[in-house]
């Protein structure tokens, strides 16, 4: 210190070791106190700066509660995971049951009913030409005309034209067997060439068993080359049941395909026809397998023999990665199989979307429960931490928190090679304040003291209530000389700012003891040495700060 002459009212801060006590300044005048405050501030400011963020903020987290917090968090995660798994399994079971129920309904109810409805439409829309062909084959005009030696062409043409007009067929025809002459409604009558593949149908009709009187084929239109019709070829017999010709009508293939398209749109099914050999003979315009046998399709090959050997049946296959239900029935009027397919993907898509929605809802509920639980637990944890680590009256740390914080600060300072000082402060004549003014006044005194202390502490320092009116300050990175400077600043500040609460006005003084933490020394031992200095300050007249000896014990590490 400078040897500059000090005010006579103040006591000199000597050049001695920081371990020497500061002498009392209780009788100092305001100019003296200001000079001392400036001097001690310079000493305290030279202390090592604590790490960024400080340990004081770290005390809001209670280390001893961390394992319990981790266990609770882990338990909460397990609970929420179990909750989500339960939701998922319930949704999956509902999806599976609904899927199985729909599959069963399709196979046993929906698809057979659709097949029946389609069959009834076929009878209404396609069986009528068979009836017309049968009517023509049994018409006495046709039979009498065919039995003539030289029948005229005009009567038959008029008859066939009237059939087309009346029943809406695209072509009506008659073949006289003895002449092979094909008669049509127009003047295009000609003799058929039985060796041409175009007229194979005629020999097929003639070769039919006696019990079968007509044949349904898909062939080229006799009047419109290049156009195909569904032709109903019916045998014509004379009155002695001898074959005299073949008559029939034709429907445009485009018209029949349009009917099938309407059935498919109405019932949302795939509809087509096969002959007895399994060859697909009729379907919608978009069907790419017309003319191909079922046995040539890899998906249908295992099923083809069973399907074609039974008049009706329900089956299921896997086609293009999805399940397909099939209903097949023989249409005796055509001698064709009506096949109705339903792909379950469209109906299952809605169920799967519902399943995904349920899973999403389950995940949202789980996350909501988890979030609320974590938030609630966090608040509860912080409240518990505060209750376990903070003195409720002064909001200073309690003894347990101070011991844990001191251990961390001590290890940190030892790694950094920085000092760690301990300052113990005690309110002078506190018992008299309580006895004279009551415990509420004593509580206000303690809160007032803590407020004054915090105004002079750094971010890295911490204050704890050690017991009663005694407080312990942990000064991170501060040596004993800097601690003396801080203590002096606090003491002067408290003296300059008396407690005012309504009519109550109290001038307060404090006494303190200071020491530095030794290597691996616990807080209890450090406080005990600082208490010795505190008691020395009390015996010296109070309102002063004493420092404990800085010498190490013989068994202590440097």
Q: For the residues of 69-94, what is the DSSP string, one character each? A: HHHHHHHHHHHHHHHHHHHHHHHHHH
What does the pLDDT look like over 470-516, one tens digit per residue?
999 999 999 999 999 999 999 999 999 998 877 778 899 999 999 99
pLDDT of residue 239: 93
Q: Which two tokens stand for residue 179?
A: 């002449």
Least confident of 49-63, 174-188, 230-244, 399-413: 49-63
CA–CA dist 359, 531 (Å, integer): 65
pLDDT of residue 23: 38
Of 347 and 535, the one with more pLDDT: 535
pLDDT of residue 558: 34
| Residue 121 CA: distances (Å) to CA of 109, 124, 128, 256, 264 | 18, 5, 11, 12, 12
% of the chain with per-residue pLDDT over 90: 35
Q: Would you say the C-alpha torsion 500, 506, 509, 510 has a positive or negative sign?
A: negative
Of 272 and 2, the one with more pLDDT: 272
**Fold agreement between 30-60+390-547 and 127-254:** no
Of 152 and 353, the one with more pLDDT: 152
User: In sequence order, what are the beta bridge partners of 462?
Assistant: 474
Provide the CA 528 distance to its chain's centre, in angstroms.
59
Average pLDDT, the chain: 80
pLDDT of residue 27: 37
Model confidence at 445: pLDDT above 60: yes
Confidence of residue 254 (pLDDT cuts 50, 70, 90): confident
CA–CA dist 276, 337 (Å, integer): 7
Confidence of residue 526 (pLDDT cuts 50, 70, 90): very high
% of the chain with per-residue pLDDT over 70: 84
Model confidence at 237: pLDDT above 70: yes
CA–CA dist 339, 335 (Å, integer): 13
Least confident of 72-76, 148-152, 448-452, 545-549: 72-76
Instruction: Give the number of other Cβ atoms within 10 Å of residue 542's Cβ.
Output: 16
Maximum distance among all Cα pairs of the chain, rounded to whole angstroms = 166
Confidence of residue 67 (pLDDT cuts 50, 70, 90): low
Model confidence at 556: pLDDT above 90: no
Q: What number of residues does the chain have?
A: 558
540 phi and psi, to 5 degrees? -80, 0
CA–CA dist 322, 54 (Å, integer): 65
Q: Is 472 helix (H, G, I), strand (E, B) or coil?
A: strand
Query: In 3D, which of 168, 161, 209 has the Cα closest to residue 184?
Result: 161
Q: What's the per-residue H, E or C state across 176-227?
A: ECCCCEEECCCCCCEECCCCCHHHHHHHHHHCCCCCCCEEEEEEECCCCCCC
Strands of the sheet containing 510-516, edge to edge, are 462-467, 470-476, 420-427, 510-516, 545-547
List alpha helices for 106-167, DSSP H.
Answer: 111-125, 127-137, 140-147, 153-167
Of 392 and 381, the one with more pLDDT: 392
Instruction: Give me the mean pLDDT over the 445-449 stretch.
Output: 93
- CATH ID of 127-254, from 2.60.40.60, 3.30.450.20, 3.30.1370.60, 3.10.20.30: 3.30.450.20
Of 491 and 353, the one with more pLDDT: 491
Strands of the sheet containing 312-319, edge to edge, are 280-283, 270-274, 336-343, 322-331, 312-319
CA–CA dist 41, 445 (Å, integer): 25
Confidence of residue 200 (pLDDT cuts 50, 70, 90): confident
Of 14 and 34, the one with more pLDDT: 34
Confidence of residue 295 (pLDDT cuts 50, 70, 90): confident
Confidence of residue 28 (pLDDT cuts 50, 70, 90): very low
Instruction: Give me the mean pLDDT over the 43-72 stretch.
Output: 52
User: In sequence order, what are the beta bridge partners of 232?
Assistant: 216, 249
Name the CATH architecture for the domain at 30-60+390-547: 2-Layer Sandwich (3.30)
pLDDT of residue 58: 41
Query: In 3D, which of 483, 479, 510, 492 has the Cα closest to residue 413?
Result: 479
Query: In 3D, which of 475, 486, 478, 474 has the Cα closest to residue 401?
Result: 474
Confidence of residue 554 (pLDDT cuts 50, 70, 90): very low
353's enclosing H/E stretch is: helix 345-389
Confidence of residue 356 (pLDDT cuts 50, 70, 90): confident
Q: For the residues of 372-437, what is the DSSP string, one character each? A: HHHHHHHHHHHHHHHHHHB-TTT--B-HHHHHHHHHHHHHHHHHHT--EEEEEEEETTHHHHHHHH
Domain ranges in the chain are 30-60+390-547, 127-254
Instruction: Give me the mean pLDDT over the 162-169 stretch.
Output: 89
What does the pLDDT look like over 397-430, one tens digit per residue?
999 889 999 999 999 999 999 999 999 999 999 9
524's enclosing H/E stretch is: helix 523-539
pLDDT of residue 57: 40
Model confidence at 546: pLDDT above 50: yes
pLDDT of residue 59: 41
What does the pLDDT look like over 375-384, one tens digit per residue?
887 777 777 7
Instruction: Give me the mean pLDDT over the 3-10 stretch.
Output: 33
CA–CA dist 289, 270 (Å, integer): 12
Burial of 97 (0-12, 13-18, 19+ CB in 10 A): exposed
The torsion defined by the Cα of 522, 526, 531 and 534, in degrees rounded to 10, comes to: -150
Instruction: Give me the mean pLDDT over the 442-463 stretch.
Output: 92
Instruction: Give the number of other Cβ atoms within 10 Å of residue 335's Cβ.
Output: 13
User: In sequence order, what are the beta bridge partners of 512?
Assistant: 425, 545
Instruction: Give me the mean pLDDT over the 7-33 stretch.
Output: 37
pLDDT of residue 464: 94
């Amino acid at each position: 210190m400078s040897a500059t002459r000090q005010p006579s009212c103040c006591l000199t801060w000597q050049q001695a070791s920081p371990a020497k006590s500061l002498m009392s300044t209780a009788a100092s005048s305001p100019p003296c106190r200001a000079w001392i405050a400036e001097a001690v501030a310079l000493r305290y400011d030279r202390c090592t700066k604590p790490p960024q963020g400080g340990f004081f903020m770290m005390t809001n987290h209670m280390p001893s509660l961390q394992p319990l917090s981790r266990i609770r968090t882990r338990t909460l995660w397990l609970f929420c995971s179990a909750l989500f798994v339960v939701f998922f399994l319930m949704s999956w079971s509902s999806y599976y049951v609904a899927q199985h129920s729909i599959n069963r309904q399709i196979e046993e109810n929906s698809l057979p009913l659709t097949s029946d409805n389609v069959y009834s439409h076929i009878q209404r829309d396609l069986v009528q030409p068979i009836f017309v062909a049968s009517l023509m084959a049994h018409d006495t005009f046709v039979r009498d005309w065919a039995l003539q030696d030289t029948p005229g062409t005009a009567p038959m043409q008029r008859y066939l034209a009237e059939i087309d007009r009346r029943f809406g067929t695209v072509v009506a025809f008659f073949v006289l067997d003895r002449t092979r002459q094909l008669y049509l409604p127009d003047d295009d009558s000609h003799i058929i060439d039985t060796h041409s593949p175009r007229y194979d149908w005629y020999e097929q009709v003639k070769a039919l068993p006696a019990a079968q009187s007509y044949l349904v084929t898909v062939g080229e239109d006799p009047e419109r080359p290049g156009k195909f019709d569904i032709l109903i070829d019916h045998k014509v017999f004379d009155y002695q049941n001898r074959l005299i010709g073949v008559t029939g009508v034709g429907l445009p293939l485009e018209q029949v395909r349009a009917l099938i398209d309407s059935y498919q749109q109405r019932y949302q099914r795939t509809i087509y026809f096969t002959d007895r050999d399994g060859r697909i003979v009729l379907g919608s315009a978009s069907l790419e397998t017309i003319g191909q046998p079922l046995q040539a399709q890899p998906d249908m090959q295992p099923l083809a023999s069973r399907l074609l050997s039974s008049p009706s049946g329900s089956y299921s296959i896997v086609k293009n990665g999805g399940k397909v239900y099939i209903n097949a029935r023989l249409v005796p009027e055509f001698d064709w199989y009506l096949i109705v397919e339903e792909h379950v993907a469209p109906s299952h898509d809605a169920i799967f979307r519902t399943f995904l929605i349920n899973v999403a809802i389950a995940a949202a509920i789980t996350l909501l429960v988890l979030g609320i639980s974590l938030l609630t637990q966090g608040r509860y944890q912080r409240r518990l931490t505060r209750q376990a680590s903070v003195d409720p009256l002064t909001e200073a740390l309690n003894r347990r928190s101070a011991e844990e914080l001191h251990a961390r600060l001590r290890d940190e300072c030892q790694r950094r090679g920085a000092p760690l000082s301990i300052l113990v402060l005690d309110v002078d004549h506190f018992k008299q304040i309580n006895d004279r003014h009551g415990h509420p006044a004593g509580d206000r005194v303690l809160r007032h003291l803590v407020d004054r202390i915090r105004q002079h502490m750094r971010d890295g320092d911490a204050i704890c209530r050690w017991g009663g009116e005694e407080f312990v300050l942990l000064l991170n990175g501060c040596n004993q000389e800097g601690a003396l400077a801080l203590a002096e600043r606090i003491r002067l500040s408290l003296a300059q700012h008396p407690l005012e609460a309504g009519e109550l006005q109290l001038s307060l003084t404090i006494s303190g003891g200071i020491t530095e933490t030794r290597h691996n020394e616990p807080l209890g031992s450090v406080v005990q040495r600082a208490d010795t200095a505190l008691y020395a300050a009390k015996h010296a007249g109070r309102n002063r700060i004493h420092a404990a000896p800085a010498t190490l014990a013989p068994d202590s590490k440097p």
